[in-house]
Amino acid sequence: MTRALPEDDPETADVTPPEASGMASDGMTPGGTAHRAEIDGLRAIAVLAVVFYHFGVPGFGGGFVGVDIFFVISGFLIGGILWREHQATGRLALGAFYMRRIRRLAPAYFVMAFAVLAIGSLILLPSDFRETAKGVIAATVYLSNILFFRQAGYFDGAAEEKIMLHSWSLSVEEQFYIFLPLVFLLFARNRTVLMAALGGCFALSLISSVVMTFQAHTAAFYLFPFRAWELLAGVGLAILTIEKPDLWRPHQALSWAGLALVLASVVLVQPGAAFPGLQVILPVLGTVLLIGNGTQNNLVNSALSQRVPVLIGLMSYSLYLWHWPVFTLTTYLQERYAGPAETALWIAISFVLAGLSWRFVEQPVRRATGLSNWALLAAVVAASASALMLSWAVYKTDGLPQRFDRQAQVHIAATGDFIQDFSRCAVADTGPFAGLELCRIGPDYGAPNLLIWGDSHVRAYFEGLDQAAHEANRAGLVIWRAGCAPLFDIRKQESAATRAQDAACGAANAQIRQALAMSPDLRDVLLIGRWSYYASGKGVGSDAHNSIRLSSERFGVMTQDALLAKALQATVTEIALQDRAVYVLRQPPEIAHYNAPKVARALAHGRLSEQLARRIGQITVTDATRRAAGGEMALARSGARILDSWRWFCDPFLCDAVQNGVGQFFDNNHVTNAAARRMREVFYPAMLRQVP
């Protein structure tokens, strides 16, 4: 998951009072009348940290905390403006406030969004172009953080393929622009109550963020309620600066401490499941110290106020907007990470585009005194409508697949053929499966009496399972968890999973064990998994970098393939002793080096011949059998009835990722929806069994 930067420059660092300067109040900061150049320098640190982190520059492993620095800056500037206006006039001029936001943010955003759509039409595969268009729609209506939160999942595309991912933090900022004025309006009559409400929101958000980081990491990362405290830290600092100017005692040690915390965060904070959590307190506190002590004459503030960092800070919004599309689109086109020299080139290009955007888009619109608010609003409405209509057209036409030739379209179709309808899935509120997501398949009537339990392969087969269940007129329940073998008494450690996800696998399997003992209506069980992966402990070919380690207190120490066989046999035996029929699906052959998106992209961009693409999508039965050996041994010893999937993909000599001109694999081990529907007969023995 990438870290993106929020709207980095919500206000300039000018502090001219609004009543004296009209529209120029966009630059006001609380508590003074001079330009706060050191805030621009702080912006430079934040944006450079994010840019260097995204481009993989060594030493910036925590550079994503630039987002948190900007959240505090935004809260300080926006909060100060609203508080000062409210205290001076007793009201909020929301129309003027939002027009300043539009004038500040919209022009550069729309130039970037239309450029992304134009370039995307030339190089993005249909599924990626469709998702990019969806991202433009979400960003234009200020909901992209919710979109990317909902998309975070096992089959979700890599961050580097989400061209509009950086807009999630813009949406957080824009939601803040709605939230903060609303709080002011609700508690406007009593200043003490208003401050208490802001403090309460800060505390609630902070506590919730820490708790949710470990319970629902993606929610804590993307959603505004769990990020609000960072913005409110800036708001609180602004109010303190205005109301209690003598309370803060400037000292150069505070600036040095703030700088140390910010720089240490950029270097040391770790991405992953523990972020944001408690780690984010470091950059937030450092930013508060730097801003709060920013008017003190010391070496830190002097360095931040120099011409170069100030210039970078002033153009940081445009730099943020452009650097991520430059990175993602070039990486997408080349399908590799650039070396040091090329990385420097792409960073330089990001700066050039940012400079042009700042000089010829941002600045002219902000300084155009002849451009009335009504004219600007009309232009933004027209741009929004155009962006939404263009993006909707791309989305509804599935990314315009006709842009590519027939040879590429086979693999292009496979690339996008993994999205299923999970409208019948829900987390159980009560009963033995409470807390687990259950998906019903087959007819809507009657109690389900078949359980399909497994890992991400279950998701890949979902449409075939559902169609087979309808044809057999049998209702069933589906439970799946990525990278989690359907086995009792097994723990796992997987390179692609967090500790929490590893622990959740064991906990879910233990609950399913208890639930089966309490659910006599579930008469049959079908187990599905990537057995070769669990037997060998590692991926193969295009996913050779993935690894998994199984262990068990019950079965002791043994080789991983032997442990898989022992655990599968014990699981099948335990379920069978409950008077249930147990079936196990033989995993389809793994086509080691095949990956539909990569093959499709290489064909579409002319880097791969049709003949070589065909060879990449094939594997000999001998090689496929060798890879599958450990898993096959476990299935043979399990005592379950084996459902054989190989005949749908292999002849006596070769297994092929393309059958009858239709792609069958999304990657080297997950089948497409087309394949799942085509091979659905393999599930018939479990579906058609007469239940006593």
Three-point CA angle 491, 495, 500, nearest 5°? 55
Provide the pLDDT confidence category of residue 72 given band limits of 50, 70 and 90. very high
In the chain, what is the greatest distance between 2 CA atoms, to the nearest angstrom? 85
The reported pLDDT for the residue numbered 52 is 95
Judge whether 335 and 602 are in contact, CB under 8 Å.
yes
Q: Strands, E, within 400-464: which ranges?
A: 425-427, 437-441, 450-454
Q: Taking residues 502-508, report their average pLDDT.
A: 93
* Secondary element (H or E) of residue 619: strand 618-620
Two tokens at 287? Answer: 């930013």
665 phi/psi in degrees, rounded to 5:
-125, 140
The reported pLDDT for the residue numbered 22 is 28
From 45-59, 74-88, 151-165, 507-521, the region with the lowest mean pLDDT: 151-165
Cα–Cα dist 363/355, whole Å: 11
Provide the pLDDT confidence category of residue 270 given band limits of 50, 70 and 90. confident
- Kindly provide the b/e burial profile for residues 181-212, where b requires at least 16 CB atoms within 10 angstroms of the residue's own CB: bebbeebeeeeeebbeebeebbeebbebbbeb
358 phi/psi in degrees, rounded to 5:
-65, -45
Cα–Cα dist 11/650, whole Å: 62
Two tokens at 552? Answer: 């068990």
Closest C-alpha among 380, 280, 375, 365 to residue 318: 365
Q: Residue with structure tokens 């799942």?
A: 676
| Mean pLDDT rounded to a whole number for the chain | 88
Cβ neighbors of 196 (< 8 A, separation 6 or more) are: none
Provide the pLDDT confidence category of residue 691 given band limits of 50, 70 and 90. low
Other beta carbons less than 10 A from residue 554's beta carbon:
10
494 phi/psi in degrees, rounded to 5:
-120, 140
Judge whether 448 and 421 are in contact, CB under 8 Å.
no
Q: Is the pLDDT of residue 564 over 90?
A: yes
Cβ neighbors of 513 (< 8 A, separation 6 or more) are: 488, 574
Q: Is the pLDDT of residue 373 over 90?
A: no
Provide the pLDDT confidence category of residue 336 given band limits of 50, 70 and 90. low
Cα–Cα dist 591/656, whole Å: 8
Judge whether 6 and 234 are in contact, CB under 8 Å.
no
Please list the residues that pair with 546 across neighbouring strands: none
Judge whether 544 and 553 are in contact, CB under 8 Å.
no
217 phi/psi in degrees, rounded to 5:
-55, -45
The reported pLDDT for the residue numbered 474 is 94
Cβ neighbors of 428 (< 8 A, separation 6 or more) are: 434, 435, 436, 437, 438
Judge whether 644 and 682 are in contact, CB under 8 Å.
yes
Q: Is the pLDDT of residue 23 over 60?
A: no
Would strands 491-494 and 450-454 be described as parallel, antiparallel, or unpaired? unpaired
DSSP 199-239: HHHHHHHHHHHHHHHHH-HHHHHH-HHHHHHHHHHHHHHHH
From 3-7, 105-109, 316-320, the region with the lowest mean pLDDT: 3-7
Please provide the size of the chain in residues: 692
- Kindly provide the b/e burial profile for residues 350-377, where b requires at least 16 CB atoms within 10 angstroms of the residue's own CB: bbebbbebbeebbeebbeeeeeeeeebb
Other beta carbons less than 10 A from residue 259's beta carbon:
21
33 phi/psi in degrees, rounded to 5:
-130, 10
Q: Taking residues 201-228, report their average pLDDT.
A: 92
Residue 629 corresponds to which amino acid?
A
Residue 157 corresponds to which amino acid?
G
Encode pLDDT of 459-476 as tens digits.
999 999 999 999 999 999
The reported pLDDT for the residue numbered 237 is 94
* Secondary element (H or E) of residue 342: helix 340-357
User: For helices 144-151 and 126-140, what crossing angle results, to 10°?
Assistant: 140
* Secondary element (H or E) of residue 76: helix 66-89
